[in-house]
Structure 1
Amino acid sequence: MNVSRLGRAAVVAAVAAVALSSCAANEGGSTAPSESASSLSGTINAAGASSQGSAQEAWVAAFQTENPDVTINYDPSGSGAGREAFIAGGVDFAGSDSFLNDDELAGTFAACAPDTKAIDLPVYISPIAVIYNVEGVDELNLDAATLAKIFKGEITTWNDPAIASLNPGATLPAANITAVHRSDDSGTTKNFADYLNQNAPEAWDQKPSDTFPYQAGEGAQGTSGVVDAVTNGVNTIGYADASRAGDLGVANIKVGDEFVGYTAEAAAAVVAESPLVEGREANDLAIALDRKTTDPSHYPLVLVSYAIVCQEYADAEQGELVKNYVGYLASEAGQATAAEQAGSAPLSSELADKVAAALESVK
């Protein structure tokens, strides 16, 4: 594969970043590893979705404890950067809140065996929280159309009639809205945009993509950048993986005739009822999320984050190492660890079985 300048930059950046991030991942605890019969050894370098950051920290610690001769470095550089680095061969797998698109699948993958492709395996399900920081506003209701207009810059003040009508009795300030979006290519952005496009296509008229499509608001790098900007700003609103919402206000979104907050269970319900994307490899488990539910027990503003791996690795030993680690992520133990540490929704048993079956084909 000929690697472009951009590709080379991605490889260099990814390798440098995972080398730096390994310090935190590999020195994260003082507990000595338990005795292990594991025969696995080697290093896995990975990069991608910052939404997976908290889960990956917990996954890495647990897996390395059970497999003390394995080192795992995960750089939460963003979904787009992770996919780019994986395609160019800079990392062994990518974490991504967006599955590989048709153009990416039509290309080649430097880490994979010749004439083979990569596949998308769901490992992390989480609600996306609409976070806000507005003095005097302890509860906020928003529907998809109003949310879309806020982030497009068409609704610019907190006491706008569209917001006020959804929040009767609330004291909304006559203050300008600062809407914070991701400045980097982000699967969280694509999921957020997909929710708005499916539910308010007249307001959000751009095709969902990893790149924020409008010249409005304020951009911030990564999940942590958005959270920091909302936290440290005034009259701010943003979107982020729910595990990172912290003490910020979180808006309720309209589902059917009710306004609902997120729960892991409500997010998982949407995923369970959504079909796989058609026309892909048998072991590719990309999910076409149906966000138009009117069932208030569901939370349609949800992301599915994937481990993108080779169907067959050019280096079979490295493939076996990745296969074991990703298998742990999707296992009952791995999902329980992510749920405890990041508040994610465990994969359903049916989806977990599909991931396990797909991994059996990885070489």
Structure 2
Amino acid sequence: MKKSFLLGLTLITATGTASAQSSLTGAGASFPYPLYSKMFAEYKNAQNVSVNYQSVGSGAGQKQITERTVDFAGSDNPMSDDALKAAPARLLHVPTAIGAVVPAYNLPGVTAPLKFDGAVLANIYLGKIRTWNDAAIAKLNPGVTIPPLPITVARRSDGSGTTYVFSDYLSKVSSEWKTKVGVGNSLSWPVGTGAKGNDGVAGVVKSTPGAIGYVELVYAKQNKLPFGSVKNRAGKFVLADNGPAALAANGVVIPADTRASLTNSANAEAYPIASFTYVIFYQDQKYGARTEAQGEALQKLLTWMVTTGQGYNEALDYARLPAAVANKAKAIINSMTYGGKKL
């Protein structure tokens, strides 16, 4: 999953010259990579425009868009105010889907999904719960025979939006986590084996009996990894799926710039570790050697992603954008300019 999704960088016109608007490049989050792979293949078929998206992690994507080496970045967390101020011009965020981060694990002989709550997940990642038959885990899972394996904690080694989402959730449910570790793309981890990308963490879990790792839902499913239900704010244990992930946005005030946290939703039916995933791009597309045609091509792609492209979300275990959020996204995309003139 770490390979670039490359469908031909350019289309060649009848005269043999490359058309500037025939290809676009993006880099960033691995969280939406399975969805973007499908979206961009379909977009190529429909519009004859190739999109090269590199799954390198949200942190790297934010760095590349700040340095203007890609047309857009993918990120599961919005850039901070300080990071936006450090950029050479105004950056915009548009959500493309809602995804769920799940606690995937490898426990031979355990067939029913385990139950987790915020305290147990925080204490596992703080290194305070070290074996699977710990009393705190057993209390949540009465009647389940859990082997007394040591817990191998798997986590991201790269700058990761999935890490941001997971740590944002843990900071809301554990004061100790908030104080000792906090929220971020990259953390000073108390314990754990690091791996790059959602696929890397899934690989550690799959190959290690006793391992647990946080990954986007589709990576658990693709790797046939069991994953647990998580107790939400209303006290209900919810197993991640499209519907419960989408419900995380219900009741959340989404600002005009769409930068919002969906974790630990107050919705009684919501899955608690859910997030938007974003594309990030410059409002004014005239910079460097960019042409107006490139800006127009990006605007058309983004519009397609939040409209027609939403039809691919659910089959790949992502939730569609709520209608009100999709309308905000379209308004942001329509604000794009080239040299101050609206595209």
TM, length-normalised to structure 2 = 0.88
> Cα offset for 1:202?
3.0
Shift in alpha-carbon separation, 1:184–1:290, aligned structure 2, 3 A:
closer
1:200 to 160, 171, 174: 174
Amino acid in the other structure paired with 1:21: S
Out of 232, 239, 254, the residue aligned to residue 261 of structure 1 is 239
In structure 2, the residue matched to 1:165 is 139
Aligned to 1:62: 42
Distance 1:202 1:211 in 2: 18
Aligned partner of 1:31 in structure 2 is none
Q: 1:76-115 counterparts in 2 under 5 A?
A: 76-109=55-88
Question: Which sections of structure 2, spanning at least 5 residues, go unmatched?
Answer: 10-18, 338-343
Does the CA-based 8 Å contact 2:20-2:293 persist in structure 1?
no
Q: Give the TM-score of the pair, scaled to structure 1.
A: 0.83
Q: Is the 8 A contact 1:182 1:212 kept in 2?
A: no
Counterparts of 1:213 and 1:351, CA distance in 2? 34
- The answer for the alignment partner of 1:311 in structure 2 is 283
Quick one: structure 1 residues 26 and 134, their matched pair in 2 at CA, closer, same or farther if it must change by over 3 Å?
Answer: farther
Matched residue type, 1:250:
F
1:117 counterpart = 2:90 = yes
Provide structure 1 residue ranges, at least 5 long, that are not aligned to the other structure: 1-17, 28-38, 110-115
Q: Return the alpha-carbon distance in structure 1 between the equivalents of residues 162 and 319 of structure 2.
A: 16
For 1:194-240, what per-residue CA distance to the aligned partner results, in whole angstroms no more than 9, with x for missing partners?
A: 11111222344332100133230111100110111101111111111
Number of paired residues? 318
- Counterpart of 1:216 (choices 180, 191, 197) is 191
**Alpha-carbon distance between aligned partners in 2 of 1:94 and 1:126, rounded to the nearest angstrom:** 17
- The 5 Å alignment of 1:113-262 reads 116-138=89-111, 139-205=113-179, 206-246=181-221, 247-255=224-232, 256-262=234-240
CA drift of 1:41 comes to 3.5
Deviates more, 1:253-262 or 1:70-79: 253-262
AA paired with 1:310?
Answer: Y
Distance in 1 of aligned mates of 2:235 and 2:260? 26
Inter-CA distance 309–322: structure 2 relative to 1 (3 Å threshold): same
Deviation, structure 1 residue 124? 1.6
Cα RMSD of the aligned pairs, angstroms, is 1.9
Residue 125 of structure 2 contacts residue 190 of structure 2 at CA under 8 Å; is this kept in 1? Answer: no
In the TM superposition, residue 294 of structure 1 has moved relative to its aligned partner by 6.2
The one-letter amino acid paired with 2:33 is G
1:270–1:300 CA contact under 8 A, matched in 2 = yes
Q: Which residue does the alignment assign to 1:324?
A: 300
Alpha-carbon distance, 1:22 to partner: 4.7
Q: Aligned partner of 1:321: which letter? A: A
> Which deviates more from structure 2 when the two are superposed, residues 264-273 or residues 181-190?
264-273
Distance 1:151 1:310 in 2: 36
Query: Residue 50 of structure 1: SS of its match in structure 2?
Result: coil
Is this contact kept in 1: 2:59–2:161, CA < 8 A? Answer: yes
**SS, match of residue 261 in structure 2:** coil
Native 8 Å contact 1:49 1:78 kept in 2: yes
The alpha-carbon distance between structure 1 residues 244 and 22, as it changes in their structure 2 partners (threshold 3 A), is closer
